Amino acid sequence: MTLQQFLLILRARFRVICGVLAIVVLAAAAVSLILPKKYTAQAALVVDAKSADPILGNMIPSQMMASYIATQVDIIGSDRVAQRVIDITGLDKQPQFQEMWQEATEGRGGIKVWLASALKSRLDVKPARESNVITLSYTGSNPEFVAMVVNAFAQAYIDTALELKVEPARQYANWFDERTKGLRDDLEAAQKRLSDYEQQHRIIASDGRLDVETARLAELSSQLVAVQGLRADSRSRQSQSGAAELLPEVTQSPLISNLKAELARKEAERDQLRGRLGPNHPEVGKVAAEIGSLRQRIGSETQRIAASLGTSSRISAAREEEIAAAVEAQKARVLELKAHRDSIAVLQRDVEAAQRAYDLVTQRLATTSLESQTQQTNVAVLTPATVPLWPSGPRLLVNLLLAIIVGGVLGVGSAFLIELADRRVRGEDDLASLADVPILGVIPSAGEALAGGFLARLFRRPAEGY
């Protein structure tokens, strides 16, 4: 189909198109005038999601802002918020809504659930594109009612958002409170075990008894080494008892030195007397007797010193045994104190672990308790809803424009349907489409003839002037 054929069909069916258009426009106007007027109230909420929490100090990351706003939109459109709106407005107690509920459901289900579903069906929640503002819109036939419902939705959302924030904190606070009691009991039990152990063994965790006993053990060990040295020395000198006169104690003894000096003097005197008086003289015998006495005294003194070395060795051995026993006893004491110290360290670690756990839970309890008692939320009403002065629907001009468009489309479609049902020749193109039918000529209409003659005269007059 060419454009000329299309225009010819429109011109031929112009009355049909106008009739369909008029019917559609009149119907739209009638419906717009008959339908009851509807009013739309709007309220704007701002969600301050970028500021830090005053208690926890947390901030919502910027990449999660869109999902956070979307979550708030879903919360506004939830049944919980809608039922809170019913509680705020008291719609379930009004007789007209009770009658409507009875007629719609025949008393099945709850009136709050039915009213919540009805309220949500007319609520429109739209977040802003580049901001944290959420717009609430509600449409109804009563302007005062729609304004009240929108403000109730805003308040219900703020209350619900606060509850969603506070309720988990309350549950955590109760759990932390119960846990704190158990951890306090554990801490007291650990402290009691430590105290009982200290009292039982008479040991204080912070005293220096272990250091004192360790120093005493070192001192006893030094004494034992010294006594063992003395005993070894006594043994070595005692083994030389066959040559007692060579012992250091004998050679260094003043008494023996004096006796030896006296012996040497008497021997010299005897030799002089023997040479002068002869060997059998009484004076020589007297000096010889004194020499024998001196030698006997030197021998007895030497034997006494040698015997004293044995006694010293026995004393050193006894002293060594005594100090060795003291060292072993001190070792046992030090080991016992170390064992007690290790046990006390374990008990102290138990007390410290219980204290840390108790402090951590107590801190979390304080934080959650504050959070459970907060009355602040990050949502505020930016613009409350007011009673709309002008109806939002039905929109007569918009409906008429839409009716003109729809009526025009329907009129054109109707013209083509009628044309397909009753096909006629509208021009030369229609004749040309017929097979083997030559076109001999075209008879113009009266209007076309007049227009053609006028144009012919118009184009001839300049030529006649030349």
For 187-197, write each residue's pLDDT tens digit: 889 888 888 88
User: Which tokens is 54 given?
Assistant: 């005053």
- Is residue 400 a contact partner of residue 29, using CB atoms and an 8 Å limit? yes
Q: Report whether pLDDT(465) > 50.
A: no
- Is residue 414 a contact partner of residue 12, using CB atoms and an 8 Å limit? no
Which pLDDT does position 61 carry in this prediction? 67
- What gap in Å lies between CA 203 and CA 341, rounded to an integer? 8
Which pLDDT does position 285 carry in this prediction? 78
Nearest CA to 377 out of 163, 171, 133, 88 is that of: 163
Band (77; pLDDT cuts 50, 70, 90): very high
Q: What number is the average pLDDT over the span 242-247?
A: 52
pLDDT: which is higher, 87 or 453? 87
Instruction: Quote the mean pLDDT of the chain.
Output: 78
Q: Report whether pLDDT(462) > 50.
A: no
Which pLDDT does position 461 carry in this prediction? 43
- What gap in Å lies between CA 286 and CA 266, rounded to an integer? 10
Q: Report whether pLDDT(454) > 50.
A: no
Which pLDDT does position 153 carry in this prediction? 95
User: Which tokens is 283 given?
Assistant: 């004076």
User: Which tokens is 204 given?
Assistant: 């204080």
Angstrom distances, CA of residue 177 to CA of 149, 165, 170, 198, 465 = 40, 19, 10, 32, 117
Which pLDDT does position 52 carry in this prediction? 44
pLDDT: which is higher, 31 or 253? 31
* Least confident stretch, 74-88, 100-114, 356-370, 444-458: 444-458
Which pLDDT does position 149 carry in this prediction? 94
For 305-331, write each residue's pLDDT tens digit: 666 656 666 676 777 788 888 888 888
Which pLDDT does position 263 carry in this prediction? 77
Band (76; pLDDT cuts 50, 70, 90): very high
Amino acid at the residue 184: R
Amino acid at the residue 409: V
Which residues have CB under 8 Å from 183's CB, separation 6+? 354, 357, 358, 361
Which pLDDT does position 396 carry in this prediction? 72
Percent of the chain with pLDDT over 70: 76
pLDDT: which is higher, 73 or 442? 73
Which pLDDT does position 236 carry in this prediction? 57
Which pLDDT does position 106 carry in this prediction? 81
User: Which tokens is 164 given?
Assistant: 């969603």
